[in-house]
């Protein structure tokens, strides 16, 4: 109890610094892989709290990893910071609050390592929205020192049992042959017919797709002039499903839709990934129980039972490698949508910062429980292994 109360007092003392991180990032919206000012500000804030800050990936200069360690053995606990903004909208997903929550939880927890053992880590992960910066960080094995990852995301409600869909992002390019659309249309091979055929084939396929599958796309190039048969068209699609193995089957069928459309139009098709593939989110039940228990101890009573509208995020890829809990906290009026200008305006207001401070407390207290009870960390690893074997 003394450690718990001391940790809560530490969060209260850090409130000005936590809010300062949130407000700086909110007022400096930078798109993915270009978050220079925001990552520098976060790195400086962590260094001021005694963290050793690394820039571990030369090709990913806005990524960072920061750590404080005890001389005593114990598990590594990681917190996720995001700070990229949406093009034209700013922080409509509240990444300023995510970065501030990771900073606050880690800075509050670190001084207690002398009594608990172990280590505390912050991962600054760029380009969550478009680019999936966590994936190259995983490939570089930057998460190896941690045994549990905790992340809080702003929403308009409390939710611990979050979900996330696996996602494949595909780009289709069709190549045909130009001709005069009025004089000699028979000489052409219409690449626009091919891309329209792709959309029609997918529309027919929807009848056989499971309810959790989502397929949505746009034509990114449709031709140059109405009197010229287009010889080059392109489209991009997001394909999502609840589980990666189901998504792999759907993606294979979508690719067949493209090949069939190209064959019917007498064109060639090139299929590639426009973004790295995302895995479904495995919300670790052991860690989720720890967070839910801390939230109830903080007086939170209105935990939503299930995720009503799951999206996709690169934290899913992390969750398949390291036991992970990913929960929502209220930062806006109930029902306000993410990825909107309204949410961006809300993400630096009083309600958002009240929710942020509650999330920081839950993150820090959960980290403290895991450091004090390493058996929970081992149980979380076993839970992840069981889910991976299904």
For the chain of 390 residues, list the mean pLDDT of each consecutive stretch of 10.
93 98 98 98 98 95 98 97 97 98 98 97 97 97 98 97 95 98 97 98 97 96 97 98 95 98 98 96 97 97 85 96 98 96 98 98 98 98 87
Q: How many helices (DSSP H) and strands (DSSP E) are in the chain?
A: 12, 12
Question: Which of 252, 257, 247 is CA-nearest to residue 201?
Answer: 257
Homologous superfamily of domain range 2-164+281-388: Zn peptidases (3.40.630.10)
Q: Which helix (H) or strand (E) holds 124?
A: strand 119-124
Q: Give the model's pLDDT for residue 64.
A: 98
| Sign, CA torsion 96/97/102/104 | positive
Topology of domain 166-278 in CATH is: Alpha-Beta Plaits (3.30.70)
Q: Give the model's pLDDT for residue 310.
A: 84
Q: Give the model's pLDDT for residue 258.
A: 98
3-state secondary structure of 345: helix
Q: Which helix (H) or strand (E) holds 36?
A: helix 36-48
342-346 long-range Cβ contacts below 8 angstroms, 24+ apart:
343/92, 343/93, 343/94, 344/86, 344/89, 344/90, 344/91, 344/92
Q: What is the pTM of this model?
A: 0.94
Q: What is the pLDDT of residues 105-114, one digit of tens each?
A: 999 999 999 9
Domain with CATH 3.40.630.10 in the chain: 2-164+281-388
Domain with CATH 3.30.70.360 in the chain: 166-278
**Degrees (nearest 5) of the Cα angle 208, 214, 220?**
110
Q: Give the model's pLDDT for residue 389.
A: 65
Question: Which of 164, 168, 131, 165 is CA-nearest to residue 252?
Answer: 168
| Cβ(254)–Cβ(205) below 8 Å | yes
| Alpha carbons 91 and 18: distance in angstroms, whole number | 17
Q: Which residue has the tokens 């910062």?
A: 353
Q: Give the model's pLDDT for residue 1.
A: 62
Q: What are phi and psi of 52, to 5 degrees?
A: -85, 115
3-state secondary structure of 240: strand
| Alpha carbons 60 and 67: distance in angstroms, whole number | 19
Q: 185: which DSSP letter?
A: G
Q: Count of CB atoms within 10 A of residue 385's CB?
A: 10
Q: Give the model's pLDDT for residue 87.
A: 95
Contacts of 247 (CB under 8 A, 6+ apart): 165, 166, 167, 168, 213, 239, 240, 241, 280
Question: Which of 44, 42, 116 is CA-nearest to residue 77?
Answer: 116
Contacts of 83 (CB under 8 A, 6+ apart): 25, 30, 35, 38, 39, 42, 95, 96, 98, 99, 124, 126
CB neighbour class for 140 (10 Å; exposed up to 12, middle 13-18, buried from 19): middle
Q: In what order do the strands lie in the sheet with 214-221?
A: 214-221, 232-241, 166-175, 268-278
Question: Which of 85, 118, 123 is CA-nearest to residue 101?
Answer: 123
Q: What are phi and psi of 2, to 5 degrees?
A: -60, -40
Q: Which tokens is 251 given?
A: 């993606």
| Alpha carbons 176 and 187: distance in angstroms, whole number | 11
| Cβ(4)–Cβ(112) below 8 Å | no
| C-alpha to C-alpha distances, 319 to 149, 230, 315, 385, nearest whole angstrom | 8, 44, 6, 11
Contacts of 198 (CB under 8 A, 6+ apart): 172, 174, 235, 257, 258, 261
């Amino acid at each position: 109890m003394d450690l718990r109360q001391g940790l809560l007092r530490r969060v209260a003392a850090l409130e000005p610094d936590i809010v300062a991180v949130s407000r700086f990032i909110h007022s400096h919206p930078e798109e993915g892989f270009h978050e220079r000012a925001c990552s520098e500000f976060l790195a400086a804030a962590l260094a001021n709290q005694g963290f050793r800050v690394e820039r571990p990936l030369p090709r990913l200069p806005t990524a960072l990893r920061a750590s404080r360690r005890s001389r005593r053995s114990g598990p590594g606990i990681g917190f996720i910071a995001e700070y990229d903004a949406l093009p034209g909208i700013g922080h409509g997903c509240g990444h300023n609050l995510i970065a501030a929550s990771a900073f606050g939880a880690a800075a509050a927890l670190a001084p207690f390592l002398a009594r608990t053992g172990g280590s505390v880590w912050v991962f600054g992960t760029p380009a969550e929205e478009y680019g999936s910066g966590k994936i190259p960080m995983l490939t570089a094995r930057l998460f190896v020192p941690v045994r549990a990852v905790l992340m809080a995301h702003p929403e308009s409600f409390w939710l611990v049992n979050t979900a996330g869909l696996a996602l494949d992002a595909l780009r289709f390019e069709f190549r045909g042959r130009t001709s005069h659309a009025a004089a000699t249309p028979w000489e052409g091979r219409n690449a626009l017919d091919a891309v329209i055929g792709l959309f029609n084939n997918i529309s027919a396929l929807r009848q056989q797709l499971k309810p959790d599958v989502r397929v949505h796309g746009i034509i990114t190039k449709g031709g140059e002039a109405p009197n010229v048969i287009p010889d080059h068209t392109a489209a991009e699609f997001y394909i999502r499903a609840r589980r990666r193995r189901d998504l792999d089957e759907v993606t294979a069928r979508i690719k067949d839709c493209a090949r069939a459309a190209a064959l019917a139009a007498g064109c060639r098709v090139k299929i590639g990934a426009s973004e790295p593939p995302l895995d479904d989110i495995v919300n670790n039940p052991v860690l989720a129980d720890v967070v839910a228990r801390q939230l109830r101890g903080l007086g939170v009573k209105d935990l939503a039972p299930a995720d009503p509208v799951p999206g996709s995020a690169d934290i899913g890829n992390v969750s398949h490698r390291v036991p992970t809990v990913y929960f929502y906290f209220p930062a806006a009026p109930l029902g306000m949508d993410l990825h909107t200008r309204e949410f961006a305006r809300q993400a630096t207001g009083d309600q958002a910062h009240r929710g942020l401070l509650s999330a920081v407390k839950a993150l820090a207290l959960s980290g403290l429980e895991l450091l004090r009870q390493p058996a929970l960390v081992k149980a979380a690893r076993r839970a992840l292994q069981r889910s991976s074997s299904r």
